Chains A and B, each alone.
Chain A
Amino acid sequence: MTSTMTETVAAPTAASRAGISPWLTFAVRRGGQFILSLWVLITAAFLMIHLVPGDPVRAALGMNAPAELVEARRAALGLDQPLIVQYVNYFAKLFTGNLGVSTITNEPVAHVIATRLPATLQLALLACLLVLLIALPLGVTMAVATRGSRRRGLELTFAIVCVVFAAIPEFLLGVGLVYIFAVNLEWFPIAGNDSPLGLVLPVIALAIGPIAVFSRIIRVEVLSVLGQDFVRTARAKRLAPRKIYIRHALPNAMTATLTLTGLLISGMVAGTVLVENIFAWPGLGTMIVQSILSKDYPVVQSVVLIYGIGVLLVNLVIDIVLALLDPRSTIRES
Chain B
Amino acid sequence: MPTRLKWLSIVRSPVGATATVLVLIVALLAIFAPLLWGAQAEAIDTAGTQQGPSAEHLLGTDALGRDVLARVLIATQLSVALAVIAVVIGVTVGTLLGTAPSVLPRWAARLVVGIVNIAVAFPGLLLALFLAAVFGVGATGAVFAIGLAMAPSFARLTQTMSAAIAGRDFISAARAAGVSRLRVLIRHVLPNIAEPLIVNATVAAGGALLAFAGLSFLGIGVQVPAYDWGKLLSEGLNRIYINPAAAFGPAVAVVVAGLAFNLLGETAASVAGGRVATGRWTLPPLPQPATRTVPAFPNVSVGTILSIENLRVSYPTPNGLVHPVRGVSFEVREGEALGVVGESGSGKSLTALAASRLIEPPGVVDADRLEFNGIQMLTAPEKTIRGLLGTSLAMVFQDPMTSFNPTRRIGSQLAEAAQEHQGMSKKDAMKRAVKQLQAVRVPAATRRAEQYPHEFSGGMRQRAMIAMGLMNRPKLIIADEPTTALDVTVQRQVLRLLERVRTDTNAAILLISHDIAVVSQSCERVLVMYAGRVVEDLPTAELYTGARHPYTRALLEVVPDLDTDREQPLGVIPGRPPAPGEVPLGCAFAARCPLATVQCRESDPELETHRDKHRVACWNPVGGDTRVTLPELSTAAPRTEAAPVATVGGAQ
Given the complex of chains A and B, what is the CA–CA distance between A164 and B259 in angstroms? 8
Q: Which residues of B contact A293 (CB under 8 A)?
A: 137, 219-220
Is A134 close to B, CB under 8 A? no
- B129 in complex: contacting residue of A40, A163, A183, A292, CB < 8 Å: A292
Q: Which residues of B contact A51 (CB under 8 A)?
A: 134
Beta-carbon contact of B133 and A48 below 8 Å = yes
Q: Which residues of A contact B233 (CB under 8 A)?
A: 172, 175
Given the complex of chains A and B, what is the CA–CA distance between A304 and B126 in angstroms? 7
How far, in Å, is A321 (CB) from chain B's closest CB? 13
Is A91 close to B, CB under 8 A? no
Q: Which residues of A contact B262 (CB under 8 A)?
A: 167
Q: 1/0 per position for A21-47, CB-CB distance to B under 8 A?
A: 000000000000000110011001000
Beta-carbon contact of B213 and A233 below 8 Å = no
Q: Which residues of B contact A87 (CB under 8 A)?
A: none
- B358 in complex: contacting residue of A163, A232, A307, CB < 8 Å: A232
Is B404 close to A, CB under 8 A? yes
Beta-carbon contact of A315 and B121 below 8 Å = yes
| Given known A-B contacts A52-B134, A148-B361, A247-B408, A229 and B421 have beta carbons under 8 A apart | no
- B454 in complex: contacting residue of A152, A297, A328, CB < 8 Å: A328
Is B605 close to A, CB under 8 A? no
Q: Which residues of B contact A44 (CB under 8 A)?
A: 130
Q: Which residues of B contact A164 (CB under 8 A)?
A: 259
Q: 1/0 per position for B112-130, CB-CB distance to A under 8 A?
A: 0011001001111110011
Q: Which residues of A contact B130 (CB under 8 A)?
A: 44, 48, 300, 304
- A238 in complex: contacting residue of B386, B399, B408, B468, CB < 8 Å: B386
Is A251 close to B, CB under 8 A? yes
Residue in A closest to B451 when the chains form the complex, CB atoms:
A12
Given the complex of chains A and B, what is the CA–CA distance between A159 and B360 in angstroms? 23
| Given known A-B contacts A36-B114, A233-B395, A237-B390, A148 and B360 have beta carbons under 8 A apart | yes
Which of B84-92, B189-197, B250-258 lies at the interface with chain A? B250-258
Is B407 close to A, CB under 8 A? yes
Beta-carbon contact of B137 and A292 below 8 Å = yes
Q: Which chain B residues in 420-449 approach chain A with CB under 8 Å?
A: 420-421
Q: Which residues of A contact B390 (CB under 8 A)?
A: 237-238
- A311 in complex: contacting residue of B121, B214, B283, CB < 8 Å: B121
Beta-carbon contact of B126 and A167 below 8 Å = no
Chain A residues with a Cβ closer than 8 Å to the other chain, count = 69
Q: Which residues of B contact A183 (CB under 8 A)?
A: 240-241
- A289 in complex: contacting residue of B220, B241, B258, B394, CB < 8 Å: B220
Residue in A closest to B281 when the chains form the complex, CB atoms:
A149
Is A102 close to B, CB under 8 A? no
Given the complex of chains A and B, what is the CA–CA distance between A167 and B417 in angstroms? 45
Is A93 close to B, CB under 8 A? no
How far, in Å, is A42 (CB) from chain B's closest CB? 12
Q: Which residues of A contact B258 (CB under 8 A)?
A: 167, 169
Q: Which chain A residues in 299-332 approach chain B with CB under 8 Å?
A: 300, 304, 307-308, 311-312, 315, 325, 328
| Given known A-B contacts A183-B241, A297-B133, A311-B123, A238 and B406 have beta carbons under 8 A apart | no
Q: Which residues of A contact B129 (CB under 8 A)?
A: 273, 288-289, 292, 300, 304
| Given known A-B contacts A175-B237, A230-B405, A232-B397, A40 and B361 have beta carbons under 8 A apart | no
Q: Which residues of B contact A37 (CB under 8 A)?
A: 118, 121
Q: Which chain B residues in 186-234 approach chain A with CB under 8 Å?
A: 206, 210, 213-214, 217-220, 233
* Chain A-chain B contacts (Cβ-Cβ < 8 Å), number: 179
Is A240 close to B, CB under 8 A? yes
Beta-carbon contact of B420 and A243 below 8 Å = yes
Given the complex of chains A and B, what is the CA–CA distance between A238 and B403 in angstroms? 15
Beta-carbon contact of A289 and B218 below 8 Å = yes
Q: Which chain B residues in 378-413 approach chain A with CB under 8 Å?
A: 386-387, 389-390, 394-395, 397, 399, 402-408
Is B247 close to A, CB under 8 A? yes
- B218 in complex: contacting residue of A148, A277, A311, CB < 8 Å: A277
Residue in A closest to B478 when the chains form the complex, CB atoms:
A236
Is A248 close to B, CB under 8 A? yes
Beta-carbon contact of A238 and B118 below 8 Å = no
Given the complex of chains A and B, what is the CA–CA distance between A237 and B455 in angstroms? 22
- A230 in complex: contacting residue of B136, B137, B389, B404, CB < 8 Å: B404
Is A171 close to B, CB under 8 A? yes
Residue in A closest to B471 when the chains form the complex, CB atoms:
A237
Beta-carbon contact of B455 and A168 below 8 Å = no
Is A147 close to B, CB under 8 A? yes
Given the complex of chains A and B, what is the CA–CA distance between A164 and B262 in angstroms? 11
Q: Which residues of B contact A304 (CB under 8 A)?
A: 126, 129-130, 133
Q: Which residues of A contact B535 (CB under 8 A)?
A: none
Is A235 close to B, CB under 8 A? yes
Is B244 close to A, CB under 8 A? yes
Beta-carbon contact of A252 and B406 below 8 Å = yes
- A251 in complex: contacting residue of B399, B407, B465, CB < 8 Å: B407
| Given known A-B contacts A36-B114, A171-B217, A175-B247, A266 and B123 have beta carbons under 8 A apart | yes
How far, in Å, is B118 (CB) from chain A's closest CB? 5
Of B217, B404, B468, which is in contact with the most chain A CB atoms at under 10 Å from its CB?
Answer: B217
Is B132 close to A, CB under 8 A? yes
Q: Which residues of B contact A12 (CB under 8 A)?
A: 451, 455
How far, in Å, is B430 (CB) from chain A's closest CB? 15
Given the complex of chains A and B, what is the CA–CA distance between A175 and B363 in angstroms? 48
Q: Which residues of B contact A168 (CB under 8 A)?
A: 255
Beta-carbon contact of B389 and A238 below 8 Å = yes
Q: Which residues of B contact A260 (CB under 8 A)?
A: none
Q: Which chain A residues in 104-147 approach chain B with CB under 8 Å?
A: 147
Residue in B closest to A294 when the chains form the complex, CB atoms:
B137
Beta-carbon contact of B132 and A292 below 8 Å = yes
Given the complex of chains A and B, what is the CA–CA distance between A156 and B259 in angstroms? 17
| Given known A-B contacts A149-B281, A167-B258, A311 and B122 have beta carbons under 8 A apart | yes
Q: 1/0 per position for A229-269, CB-CB distance to B under 8 A?
A: 11011111111100100011001101000000000001101
Is A53 close to B, CB under 8 A? yes
15 residue pairs bridging A and B, Cβ less than 8 Å apart: A37-B121, A164-B259, A168-B255, A172-B254, A179-B244, A230-B402, A233-B404, A236-B356, A239-B420, A252-B406, A254-B407, A269-B126, A270-B126, A300-B129, A300-B133
For the complex of A and B, the 8 pairs showing the least CB-CB separation, nearest first, are A238-B390, A270-B125, A236-B395, A229-B402, A251-B407, A230-B405, A148-B361, A229-B403
Given A171-B214, A175-B251, A274-B218, 5 additional A-B pairs, CB 8 A:
A148-B360, A167-B255, A175-B247, A232-B403, A297-B133
Residues of B within 8 A of A (CB): 114-115, 118, 121-126, 129-130, 132-134, 136-137, 206, 210, 213-214, 217-220, 233, 237, 240-241, 244, 247, 251, 254-255, 258-259, 262-263, 281, 283, 356, 358, 360-363, 386-387, 389-390, 394-395, 397, 399, 402-408, 416-417, 420-421, 451-452, 454-455, 465, 468
Residues of A within 8 A of B (CB): 12-13, 36-37, 40-41, 44, 48, 51-53, 147-150, 152, 163-164, 167-169, 171-172, 175-176, 178-179, 183, 228-230, 232-240, 243, 247-248, 251-252, 254, 266-267, 269-270, 273-274, 277, 288-289, 291-293, 295, 297, 300, 304, 307-308, 311-312, 315, 325, 328
